[in-house]
Chains A and B, each alone.
Chain A
Amino acid sequence: MPNQVPFPDFQPTINRRRVMGSALALAGGLAAPPLWAAGGKGTAVLAIDADPPTLNLGTTSDFAAGDISAKILEGLVWLDKDYNPKPALATAWTVSPDGKTYRFTLRRGVKWHDGREFTSADVRYSLMEIVGKLHPRAAPVFKNLGVEVDAPDAGTVVVRLQKPYAPFLAQMTVFDAPILPRHIYEGPAVVTNPANQRPVGTGPFKFGEWKRGTSITLVRNEQYWDAGKPYLEAIIFQIIPQAANRVPALQAGEVDELLDFYTPKPEVPRILADKKLYARRGVNIPAVYFMMFNVRSPLFANKDARHALAFAIDRPRLVKQVMNGLARPGYGAFGDGFKWLLNEEASYAKKYPFDPAKAKALLAKAGVKPDTVTLRMPFDAARAQMRGQAQIIQENLRAIGLEVSLQPLERSVYYDRVFAKHDFDVTLGSYFSAGDPAIGYTRLYSTYTGTSPNTNASGYANPKVDELLSQGATLSDRAARAKAYRELQAILNEDLPTLVLFDEETVDTASLKLQNVFPALDARDQWAGVKMVG
């Protein structure tokens, strides 16, 4: 039988069976010395959906990989609920007045899990050789900014950018710029380094064991720099491939935490009603769900046709029926998640209230005869909420004389069809902002002619928009950034290459037994301070 590798039992509750188990294991000489430390108490079980491809966060933005590795690795900073950077491996930092030089003071006395000392050389290597070259989200940004990293002494790192970039600090988190051990990665190819499967970090938990298809276990790092932490003795990531089985596992107490990413939306009311569970709503990384128009297609090259669809689609109904109310109807090009940049005058509520009659008139103006056109709408079949949206949109558009052919595709085929071949009329997608509109949303609107997945597939190109997007990303003053984004909303909400259908509201859930479980903006982060009671 597989998965029978001798492994210590992490269950903190003392009962006869467990005591016997440990005794037997030790007597049989099967187990190495216990991997947990005396200082930690409790084993948290967290649900994930599948084995991640790698645990090297420097080369992936895979959600489960981030969930696991963010507890093993650390970034220079972490983001609190209000998007403020907080010290992690950097204890302090200064930014030059021109916004182009960041000087980080590193935490001293930090050790890698293999006992080696952490220094600025690790930071320099990670940013220049791994993150700056291989991270799917950070590498393009680093390249665009011409990032240079110096390590003048073991405790200092200086990052120079060729142009200022407002969300730079927000991108120095473990998810976008994890700090990896140079002594392990230098030499062999990064992407095939065995450490990607057994990562060595500086974080509160150490890699323990990976039972493929079943679970990944992390154990307490006794030498963690924040003395006394972490409080848990271990974390088990349990793979539950069927979404439908995750909520029962949480309610039955088999699992202690279920993040929004893994939660089927229709089950959310059941979770919210459960008195044994704690749910965090509203604090989240803004995320938008949208419909992209292919402006290369003769039909949607015409702005009136795009406007017609904006009037015809019942966005509040999508929120109610597809998202179970856990969303807000589309506000505009950048959603409504960042309060500081909203442009109320240009909002969809003002510009495109639900009005099928108006939609019909606009279609006629665009030269479309009713019941003569069929739109091809491919979408990612694996995502249940996409199918739900597609069906409602199909019904809405039929009411104005447009037929929609729904094309649910497997993800890799979907990527190929939409992003590489541009073979669609409209398609559905969702992006999250990673804490700043310049990190996540820009790729929806900036001119792009390549074929990478999840980048502007609509074919929309507007030099003015590109310029304003660049201002939004590089100005360091928030008021000036807001001005750029407000102008962008006026243009984009009028040009409408993409119609934002709704802003998602995430619900992360945990057992009440876990305390202080969601201190950070990203629920996967900051687990050193999580305690287990009862």
Chain B
Amino acid sequence: MAAFILRRVLHALPLLLAVVVLNFLLIAFTPGDPITLLVGDFPAPPEYLAQMRSEYGLDQPVWVQLGHYLWKVLHGDFGYSFAAQQPVSSLILDRLGATLELTLTALLFASVVGIALGVIAAMRAGKPLDGGIQALGSIGYSVPDFWLGQLLILAFAIGLGWLPSQGYNPIRGAAPGWEGFVQHLHYLVLPAFALSLRYLTLITRITRAAMLEVLHADYILASRARGAGEWTVIVGHALRNAGAPVLTVIGYNVGFVLAGSALVETVFGWPGIGRLLYESISKRDYPVMLAILLMVSATVVVANLLTDVLHRWLDPRVERA
């Protein structure tokens, strides 16, 4: 197992390097100039523009910039944000918690509810309940999350007034202690739901398919024949065996959830990495863009690695594959 993990890590390193270089070059050759955006809407004196450009190293040739950048990244320095005028790492650390909270909640919700719905649908295969779950799933899977977000705001924040439309905590300050925590959860509900729906329906579909496959397997029949309870049969035997593909889907989607948070966080004014990415793109804040893209790539790589390890643990036959 250790060798397996080591091999995967060694594979991941050049991949990450390629990601950094590719991202850097893509961004360097995108039209648009961060300095013009930075100075605002009036024509700035050329000396000022030149000063800013040299301040941020933008007057150097691209390969020199790339070399500097790689060297710094190797030393854990992700540079200095043009737009926020502070180190990128502190900018990201400031926002990381909010994004982890949102994405992990969304993933957890999508996994738990998705698996439950998938199991129910499989057990009622061909019945109206199954049809209903599948129909809702198709809709949920095709609705873009930012649009869903707007609809949720219209319905639950503006229409019914049940939940806040945007933000992280009440504007005028959160209450202390437990009450503040509950207040905060109100702010989490809509964005987490908007972010999770697509994955929820995906997980439902995969779970249903995987369950249908194993429900007809001999060992399930045997287990039933032995008189095992329905709970034991479904959760103990069927789900355990259907779990591998479901887990794979969840693991492979971690990166998408993280990337998807850009739009959801923007719609709901959630102060996370996703919104930071969105803002940094519109401001051409290269160091921030690069650092976030690298972070998302690294998360995808790590999530895939963990998925493979877990997969192997669930199903030892994978080793040979």
A residues at B contact (CB < 8 Å): 1-3, 7, 9-11, 17-18, 20-21, 24-25, 43, 45, 50-51, 53-54, 59-62, 133-134, 136-137, 139-140, 143, 189, 191-192, 196-197, 211-215, 236, 238-242, 244-245, 248-249, 254-255, 382, 410-413, 415-417, 443, 450, 452-455
Bound together, the chains give a CA A9 to CA B172 distance in angstroms of 8
Give 3 closest A-B pairs by Cβ, nearest first.
Answer: A412-B32, A452-B43, A213-B271
The smallest beta-carbon distance between A68 and chain B, in angstroms, is 14
Q: Which one of B43, B95, B167, B272 contacts A136 once the chains associate, using CB atoms below 8 Å? A: B43
B36 at the A/B interface (Cβ < 8 Å)? yes
Are A189 and B55 in contact (CB-based, < 8 A)?
yes
**Nearest CB to that of B90 among chain A residues?**
A212
A241 partner residues in chain B, CB cutoff 8 A: 266, 269, 275, 279
Q: Which residues of B81-116 have CB atoms within 8 Å of chain A's CB atoms?
A: 82-86, 91, 93-98, 101
Bound together, the chains give a CA A240 to CA B166 distance in angstroms of 8
Stretch touching chain A among B44-52, B124-132, B193-201, B295-303? B44-52
Q: Which of A61, A213, A214, A453 has the most CB of B within 10 A?
A: A213
A254 partner residues in chain B, CB cutoff 8 A: 171-172
The smallest beta-carbon distance between B183 and chain A, in angstroms, is 10
Stretch touching chain A among B14-22, B173-181, B213-221? B173-181
Against A, the Cβ 8 Å flags (1 = close, 0 = not) of B43-65 are 11111100110010000000000
The smallest beta-carbon distance between A251 and chain B, in angstroms, is 9
Are B171 and A236 in contact (CB-based, < 8 A)?
yes
B319 partner residues in chain A, CB cutoff 8 A: none
Are A11 and B173 in contact (CB-based, < 8 A)?
yes
Are B269 and A239 in contact (CB-based, < 8 A)?
yes
B37 at the A/B interface (Cβ < 8 Å)? yes
**Nearest CB to that of A455 among chain B residues?**
B43
Given contacts A24-B177, A413-B31, contact A212 B95 (CB under 8 A): yes
Chain B interface size band reads: 35 or more
B45 partner residues in chain A, CB cutoff 8 A: 133-134, 139-140, 143
Stretch touching chain A among B137-145, B150-158, B202-210, B229-237? B150-158
Given contacts A140-B43, A192-B85, contact A236 B172 (CB under 8 A): yes
The smallest beta-carbon distance between A63 and chain B, in angstroms, is 8
| Beyond A53-B85, A62-B40, 14 extra complex contacts between A and B, CB < 8 Å | A17-B176, A18-B175, A24-B177, A25-B176, A53-B84, A59-B39, A59-B48, A61-B39, A133-B45, A136-B44, A192-B85, A212-B94, A415-B32, A416-B32
Are A24 and B48 in contact (CB-based, < 8 A)?
no
Bound together, the chains give a CA A151 to CA B26 distance in angstroms of 51
Bound together, the chains give a CA A137 to CA B43 distance in angstroms of 7
Bound together, the chains give a CA A132 to CA B47 distance in angstroms of 12
Are A11 and B172 in contact (CB-based, < 8 A)?
yes
Bound together, the chains give a CA A214 to CA B275 distance in angstroms of 11
**Nearest CB to that of B37 among chain A residues?**
A412
Are A51 and B84 in contact (CB-based, < 8 A)?
yes
A212 partner residues in chain B, CB cutoff 8 A: 84, 91, 94-95, 271
A416 partner residues in chain B, CB cutoff 8 A: 31-33, 36
A189 partner residues in chain B, CB cutoff 8 A: 55
**Nearest CB to that of B81 among chain A residues?**
A53
B86 partner residues in chain A, CB cutoff 8 A: 197
Tell me the number of A-to-B contacts counted with CB atoms below 8 Å. Answer: 174
B42 at the A/B interface (Cβ < 8 Å)? yes
Are B175 and A53 in contact (CB-based, < 8 A)?
no
Are B48 and A139 in contact (CB-based, < 8 A)?
yes
**Nearest CB to that of B164 among chain A residues?**
A254
Bound together, the chains give a CA A213 to CA B274 distance in angstroms of 11
A248 partner residues in chain B, CB cutoff 8 A: 157-158, 165
Bound together, the chains give a CA A240 to CA B164 distance in angstroms of 13
Are B269 and A245 in contact (CB-based, < 8 A)?
yes
B245 at the A/B interface (Cβ < 8 Å)? no
The smallest beta-carbon distance between A46 and chain B, in angstroms, is 10
Q: Which one of A24, A136, A255 contacts B171 once the chains associate, using CB atoms below 8 Å? A: A255
A410 partner residues in chain B, CB cutoff 8 A: 32, 282
Are A191 and B51 in contact (CB-based, < 8 A)?
yes
Are A453 and B48 in contact (CB-based, < 8 A)?
no
Bound together, the chains give a CA A520 to CA B101 distance in angstroms of 43
Are B96 and A50 in contact (CB-based, < 8 A)?
no
**Nearest CB to that of A54 among chain B residues?**
B85
**Nearest CB to that of B165 among chain A residues?**
A245
B169 at the A/B interface (Cβ < 8 Å)? yes
Bound together, the chains give a CA A61 to CA B40 distance in angstroms of 5
B305 at the A/B interface (Cβ < 8 Å)? no
Given contacts A17-B175, A140-B43, A214-B168, contact A2 B271 (CB under 8 A): yes
B260 partner residues in chain A, CB cutoff 8 A: none
